[in-house]
Every structure is written in structure tokens, then in C-alpha cells.
Structure 1
Amino acid sequence: MARFTILVRFRVFDGQMAIFLPLMIENAEASRRDEPGCERFDVLRPDDQPDCILLYEIYRDRAAFDEHCASAHFQRFDSATKALVAEKQVTVLDLLAEA
């Protein structure tokens, strides 16, 4: 079965990054540590967009991603950050090659 890969873009409200980023990193670390189906979870920030966070995530399959979304740590993160996020965009990607 094909791996499930996503790119998530968050735009955080002005002045909220100091609260948002530690929660995001905690969620990413818990995903890698506690979810066998989570193969990669990178947290990135574009140099020229201090209010933007990008996530690059690879899961074993769609079911592993669904388990991630249902996990207690993700639910805590999602609830704690809802009021901090101005915009969230999720893009599903086809992983064509790994180097």
C-alpha cells in the first residue's frame, strides 16, 4: 500500500508564534515517538514568513494518518492551537522518489 504524505501550512496570528511553536514541536515529537505509522514529521519555517509553519509528514498509509488525527496528543494540540491559527492548508502529496 502507498505511503501517505502531506504538506501542512499554518499561518499563525501576529504575536502567537511563541505559544504555537512549542505546542507544534511537542505534537511532532509525540507523533514520531508514539505512532509506529508516522515515518517522518518535519516542522519548518520559511525564512521570509515568520508567521508561517510548514509540516512535511509521511505516514505508512492513510490508516496511520487517520490514527494520528485520532491520537490524544494530536487532539490536545488541535484544541490548544485553534485560536492561534489564522489559516491552515493541507495538501496531500504523491511521494514519487526518495533520495
Structure 2
Amino acid sequence: MTKLAVIGTIDVQPGARAEVLSAVLAHRDRCLRDEPGTLQFEVLVPTEEPTKLMLYELYADNAAFSVHMKGASVAKVMEEVGAKVVGLTGIRCTPGPEFSE
């Protein structure tokens, strides 16, 4: 089983980052608590780009990421702040050897 890392970028409306950040942090906590396949979920706040948030997520495998994307927490965070998100991208990565089995 190969772990999956996802590097995400959330582009938000000007002035909305604090609200989106709060919702994403709550989302992170729910995912780590309720999704056994979500192994790590880091939220990064770029210091020089006030309309961006960055994510580093680590999943047990592709199936765990699929469960995450279809899960209740993704639906909840999108309901809460989806209208304030103007772009969302993710890059799937193979974790380095220290994260492999």
C-alpha cells in the first residue's frame, strides 16, 4: 500500500482568509479525528500572499483520499466557506522514503 501526499492551495476572496482559515482548521481537526486514513493534515498561512492558504495532507492510500473527498467534513467546510473560495488546486505526490512503508 502506497501512501499519498497532497499539496493543496486554496485561493480566497480578499479579506476572507481569516474566516476560511478558521473553517479549514476545524475541518482538519474533524478529519484527523474521524478519518482513520487521514494521517497528517497541515495548514500553512503564506506570509506574503494574503489571499492564499496552503495544505499538506498525508493519506494511507488513494482509497483513504477518496473517502476524505466524499466525506461529511469536506461537505461541511464547503457549505461554510465555499462561496469565499475562488480557487482550489491539489497536487498528488508520492511521499519521500521516510514516509513510505
State the TM-score, normalized to the length of structure 2: 0.90
SS class of match (2:97): coil
Distance in 1, Cα, partners of 2:60 & 2:44: 21
Sequence identity (%): 28
CA deviations on 1:3-58 (whole Å, 9 max, x unpaired) are 01100001110011122111100000100111111100000011111211000000
Q: Which residue of 1 aligns with 2:48?
A: 48
Assess, with a 3 A threshold, how the Cα gap between structure 1 residues 98 and 47 changes in structure 2: closer, same or farther.
farther
User: Quick check: 1:77 aligned with 2:91?
Assistant: no
Instruction: Say what the alpha-carbon RMSD is for the aligned residues.
Output: 1.3
SS class of match (1:43): strand
CA deviations on 1:72-94 (whole Å, 9 max, x unpaired) are 12111122222111211111112
Gaps of 5+ in 2: none
Q: Which residue of 1 aligns with 2:93?
A: 93
Distance in 2, Cα, partners of 1:14 & 1:83: 12
Distance in 2, Cα, partners of 1:3 & 1:43: 19
Distance in 1, Cα, partners of 2:13 & 2:78: 15
Query: Runs of 4+ in structure 1 displaced over 6 angstroms?
Result: none
User: Quick check: 1:11 aligned with 2:11?
Assistant: yes
Gaps of 5+ in 1: none
State the TM-score, normalized to the length of structure 1: 0.92
Give the number of equivalent residue pairs.
99
